[in-house]
Structure 1
Amino acid sequence: MTTTLDPEKLQTALANVHAAGMPGLFAEVRDNDQTWCGAAGVADLATGRPVTADMRHRVGSITKTFTAAAVLRQVDNGEIDLDTPIGHYLPRLVPGERGAAITVRMLINHTSGLAEYLPYAYPSLAAFPDLAKTTPQSLDDNRFTTFHPTELIELGVSAPASGSPGGRPGVYSNTNYLLLCQLLELITGAAAEKCITRDVIEPAGLRDTELPEGSHITGPHSLHYEAWLGMIDPPRDFSVFDMSFVGPSASLISTVADLNRFFGLLLSGEIISRSSLEQMRRTGPVISFEGKTIDYGLGLHKMIIPGSGIHWGHDGSVWGGGAISLTSADGARQMSVAVNLQRWNRLGAGGRPQPHPIDAALQGFIQLALSR
């Protein structure tokens, strides 16, 4: 079988991201039955230990696709209805008129109008998204703080609404996905982490993917360097962190190979039913944390790659770590890449993140990886 994968060009493009200022990154690209793996840079700035393509990594909100898939498995089983109000299931967490107006579907596609709880859980981020007024102090203060999910949900539900239920554009919010995790626990009788593991991770054969119980990443991994828009200089490692502040909405640890395998199986209808996959692909505008409008379905992004057309997947970031996973509409081409520095852009005079050479280099690698 012929392939458009060019190992030399892919490795050069990856190295360009490292040269632009990324400490380390690694990727896997698939074209039908052909696979390329590559890495560039270091996993530890102090020792110079290199990154490798098989490293385990925190992948942030890519977790949401796994959570959405677990909910849709219960939809397939007839245990959850997408258009039933969340107040029917969880009246104490979302009471009254809002509970009656916000459906399960609105939680998954971020049109519930429920605010993000993060600025309230981390007080020094309270000015978010006015980034010029935020500080990273809460990252250190709460490195080992354990939050209970219902505590975080209460913060989001009691905060001023970000919109009306079902309104467009939606507004991205972790509150939605912590509620979905509580819904999974109610329906299945198991902790959301166990439910997602049993119904999604294990059937997909993802041997290096887990929702961690502790603060550490086990197995070979990179450090995770957070720059917080130049306010942490030099960037500091936050790979050891209590991830209860996001729980099963953004705490997944995985590898680039497992991410490609997961999205390949999901988008071919092997994890959820074809009808649920169709629901997942019904997209609409959602405002991201960065203030950008994204085309979002049920835990799934629809992205247009210049010259390559429609791709499906998700991206994610945590303190110091991030990943992007995309699969072409026909399922033939896949790309997953993980990076070990986050918020590398510095703020300009107007308090907005300024362009950085990493931006163009990373986009150049993604576009090359998905070109056919």
Structure 2
Amino acid sequence: MTTRRTMLKTGAVTAFVAVGGATLTADPAAAAPTSGPDRAALQDTLARMGANGASGILAEVRDRDWAWRGAAGVAELGTGRPVQPRGRFRVGSVTKSFVATVALQLVAERRLRLDDPVERYLPGLVPDGGRITVRHLMQHTSGLFDYTDGLLGGATVQDLVRMRYRSWSPRELLAYALDEAPLFEPGAGWSYSNTNYILVGLLIERVTGRPYGSEVTRRIIRPLGLHQTEVPGHDPDIAGPHAHGYLPLERDGGVVPVDITRFEPSIAWAAGEMLSSAEDLNRFYGALVGGRLLPASLLAQMQATTGPESYGLGLFSLTLPSGTTLWGHTGGIFGYETFAMGTADGRRQLSLSANPWGPHEPDDAMDQLLTLAFDGTGAAARTGRIQQLPKLGRF
């Protein structure tokens, strides 16, 4: 099922090293489930994932009536300090679901139209912008080259460390994409491109006259009470409890971890810069898929999928062997991997953050975690393997 999805897909990952014994943490404040998954089995599965593929890992499974939170591993290598189940982390491309929701709210307000050309809102910025629509951007059918392939395609760990505090503007990021030939005609194919969501962020700013992050905060973060969620802008720090992220550096014939926790996140901007917690992400996706953030007609368009990855407008779907359909997004950004999915009725969600570091892929354990969380059993082998998670690029 899940591969590491190029957990640090920067062109710099060459090897992984083992981490010592996992530290297990459960959150006693989380209400014990009255039905559904076995919390001991959830914790055991999380621990196996941490021991095999992450220095630290945390997760929350939430239903309307209860929540379970757990963690394994260490918050910082060499300290023995445990990961906090309610810790904060970089969510990478999960940012796209927030940005897409704001864009669709503007559609509901008739300030933006999905099938309008980009040229109408950002004149002269995008080559062939008269044929690329807002919908093309949001569903990754624009054909635009992914700026991260140009900016990070050949980057080494040393390169990333050197640029870690570099501040980027959206138009600087776009420069790595818009001079490149398109991958296909607008609407004629599907290819995940972070360039699309840099442009959606600029569309939001053009239509509202305010920073896209201010709109995400005003329209989603504050109304839902997501107190651990923020759009950090140029701030390199993660405030509050958090696990550290690492990149693998070859040195003296071996591989050593480089702490990349502090870096300037504007390199991802509206494609992947946000910070959050498992609890907040579960509340967000529960509200979104449950119909609290968008009119039903626009939520239906958000969930109209295309391409090999069943991608809609800032959401993708995943079907379990039991037939249960999940909606959400994944994210990966320098030392952090995020998985956030929930059921189609908005009732149950699973959000997970991992700091990739270890010798193995956590495929089997992730399969089991999903079946435990959503089907109440870890017996994935009896019902078939879960489809592979989409390989959605660097952020």
* Matches of 1:260 and 1:69, distance apart in 2: 15
Question: Structure 1 residues 258, 228: closer, same or farther in 2, change over 3 A?
Answer: farther
* Alignment check: 8 A CA contact 1:20 1:361 kept: no
Q: 2:217 aligns with which of 179, 183, 197?
A: 197
Q: 1:118 to 1:229 in 2, by over 3 A?
A: farther
CA offset digits 1:112-144 (Å, max 9, x no partner): 00011113223xx24xxxxxxx63332112111
Deviation at 1:77, TM superposition (A): 0.5
CA distance in 2, matches of 1:232, 1:145: 28
The equivalences for 1:48-63 within 5 A come to: 48-63=80-95
Aligned pairs (5 A) from 1:47-196: 47-95=79-127, 98-122=128-152, 125-126=153-154, 135-168=156-189, 170-196=190-216
Q: Output the CA distance in 2 between the equivalents of 1:160 and 1:362.
A: 38
Unpaired stretches in structure 1, ≥5 consecutive residues: 127-133, 286-292, 346-355
Structure-1 separation of matches of 2:297 and 2:141: 21
Q: What is the rounded CA distance, in whole Å, between the counterparts of 1:332 and 1:308 in structure 2?
A: 16
Distance change (3 Å), C-alpha of 1:357 and 1:252: same
Return structure 1 stretches of 4+ with deviation > 3 angstroms. Answer: 227-232
* Offset of residue 357 of structure 1: 3.8
TM-score (normalised: structure 2): 0.82
Matched with 1:352 is none
Q: Does 1:249 align with 2:271?
A: yes
Q: Distance in 2 between matches of 1:335 and 1:147?
A: 32
- Aligned mates of 2:147, 2:45 — CA distance in 1: 37
- Contact 2:58 / 2:70 at 8 angstroms: preserved in 1? yes
Residue of structure 2 equivalent to 1:40? 72
Query: Which sits farther off after the overlay, 253-262 or 23-32?
Result: 23-32
Gapped regions of structure 2 (runs ≥ 5) = 1-32, 377-395
Is residue 37–residue 372 contact of structure 2 (8 Å, CA) maintained in 1? Answer: no
* 1:228 to 1:341, Cα distance in 2 relative to 1, 3 A: farther
Does residue 274 of the first structure (1) align with residue 296 of the second (2)?
A: yes
Q: Check the 8 A contact 1:320/1:341 in 2, yes or no.
A: yes
Maintained 8 Å contact 1:117/1:159: no
The alignment covers a number of residue pairs equal to 342
Give the alignment's TM-score, normalised by structure 1.
0.87
Q: 1:294 Cα shift?
A: 1.2
Question: Which secondary structure does the structure 2 equivalent of 1:23 belong to?
Answer: strand
Identity %: 39
Which residue pairs with 2:373 in the alignment?
A: 369
**C-alpha deviations, 1:35-94, integer Å up to 9, x for none?**
111111111112111001110100100000000001011001100000000011111211
Select the structure with the greater relative contact order (CA < 8 A; seq sep ≥ 6). Answer: 2
Q: Which amino acid aligns with 1:67?
A: V
SS of structure 1 residue aligned to 2:203:
helix
Alignment partners' CA distance in 1, 2:93 and 2:369: 21
Bigger shift: residues 83-92 or 25-34: 25-34
Deviation string 1:222-257 (CA, Å, 9 cap, x unpaired) is 101223899992232211011111112201100000
Q: Which moved more, 1:85-94 or 1:361-370?
A: 361-370
Query: Does structure 1 residue 305 correspond to structure 2 residue 313?
Result: no
Matched to 1:76, the amino acid is A
Tell me if structure 2 keeps the 8 A contact 1:163–1:171. no
Q: Single out whichever of 108-117 and 300-309 deviates more from structure 2.
A: 300-309
The verdict on how the C-alpha distance between 1:41 and 1:243 changes in structure 2, with shifts beyond 3 A counting, is same
SS in 1 for 2:363: helix
**Does structure 2 retain, via aligned residues, the 8 Å contact 1:322–1:339?**
yes
- The Cα RMSD (Å) is 2.0
* 1:194 shift after superposition: 0.8
1:170-194 CA distance string (max 9 Å, x none): 1111110000111111110101111
Amino acid at match of 1:156: A
